[in-house]
Amino acid sequence: MRKTEPGASTSSPNDSPRILPPYLHRVAPFIVLLGVCLYASSGLVLAAQTLTVSPGHVLADQPATIRVAGLQPHEHISIQAHLFDGKAQPWASQAEFAADDTGTVDTSTQAPVDGSYRAVSAMGLIWSMKPAAKGVQSYSTPSGVEIVHFELMRNGTQISTADLERTFYPAGLQEINLTGELHGLLVLPEGFGPHPGVLVVGGSEGGTPRRPAIWLASHGYAALALAYFGVPGLPQQLVNIPLEYFGQAIGWMKQRPEIAANQLAVMGGSRGGELALQLGALYPALHAVVAYVPANVRFPSCCSHATASAWTWQGRPLSYDVASPSADNPADSATIHVELTNGPILMISGGDDGVWRSREMADAAMQRLQLAHFRYPFQHLSYPHAGHHAGEPLIIPTWSGGLSRLVSSASVDPGGTPEGNALSTLDADPKVLAFLQESLATRPAGGTDQGPAVAPH
């Protein structure tokens, strides 16, 4: 019997070290490698697959990059995106991608091989979304923050998720409602002023153009979203609107301590684009004009069956054209005298505009400025595959399932493709902001500009 010392471990003949045969030493590494390969080929790859969104928090007009890592080279995966809009309606999109040589997918540099969109676009999964419920005609903008949920899918199985927080109404903005002689909403940016100011006018939809005013305020502008019809206390149709009303709004802005009196611009779209060009030619206190899908002539009233003047001056109805011209006619009494504008002009148009020929009319305005040797910079951004919503601010789903009444009592198709409209916004947004910055920031904060430059014809 063998004696065991306290604390010592016991052993038996079966506990003796086992010596591998020499040939097994040579093949063991290959056995391990074979196991790894079989493990990988079964779909259980060793590297973790990650889905990231960077940055994770953005303003609604700013892009973010969706990135997938840890894939096999050239492996195909899908990314799905989901959100709820401002009316709690669900929207969704999906796109299939092929990983690059490093097993990576990056939406800012790679186009999908299939899915909701096919262009290289960091935010394609957002602007290509469609409603996931029946009866939804268009996307409704949220009033605050929107969460976009992304899912990484392999062979129908979710393997990773990520979220993007998009802010439509940044913290620190202030609003002042106007319900007296003027009707609208002044949106002020965070911080002490005075801030450059922008008069924002809407189109034939009427009401208060709040969304573009919030967008401008989020970038440092004091924006007055001015209603001029379609709200209580104002005309209910776009007919015989006195242009003096807008001069009154300009005068009000110049008196506000939050606004730099000599740094004022005007911005509008559609009928509001027509109006922005008219106000720029009329009031020298406006030192920059941004006109989305504008007309270079005055159009008639909207949107009843009766035809009358949309605008008046000193109580007199102003002349108008009943059809969209293809070229500028200097003898046309309804032509807007854009050459009288007291500052730079930026126009945005869609080559597939289904409402009116905004590209041709913006070109005509450009030609008029060139012939007049206009002393300020002027530019026309034209997007061939965009429609009447060309360049509209904010990166949002551009799909629309219905027709819109924009110019007359008839319903019309705004035109453009979802991709064309979205890409126009992605290109135009930073250019509009840069234009306003360059046009207004270099002007002195003081100074006066009295009265209209010339009465409209």
Distance (Å, whole) CA 33 – CA 437: 61
Residues of the chain with pLDDT under 70: 1-47, 305-306, 323-331, 402-411, 442-455, 457
Q: Where are the domains of the chain?
A: 50-167, 174-440
- The pLDDT assigned to 56 comes to 96
37 upstream amide cis, omega within 30 of 0: no
Quick count: other Cβ atoms within 10 Å of Cβ 32? 10
Quote the pTM value. Answer: 0.85
Q: What pLDDT score does 2 carry?
A: 40
What confidence score (pLDDT) does residue 18 get? 45
Longest CA–CA separation in the chain, Å? 127
Q: What is the pLDDT of residue 172?
A: 93
Q: What is the pLDDT of residue 323?
A: 61
Query: Residue 227 forms beta bridges with which residues?
Result: 183
Tell me if the domain spanning 174-440 has CATH number 3.90.1150.10. Answer: no
In angstroms, rounded to a whole number, what is the distance separating the alpha carbons of residues 259 and 197? 6
pLDDT tens digits, residue range 8-50? 333 343 444 444 455 444 544 444 444 444 444 444 444 689 9
Per-residue pLDDT at 110: 97
User: What per-residue confidence (pLDDT) applies to 303?
Assistant: 78
Class of domain 50-167: mainly beta
pLDDT on residue 329: 58
Contacts of 168 (CB under 8 A, 6+ apart): 60, 141, 142, 143, 144, 145, 146, 214, 394
Per-residue model confidence (pLDDT) at position 451 = 54
Q: Is 291 buried (19+), middle (13-18) or exposed (0-12) by CB count in 10 A?
A: buried
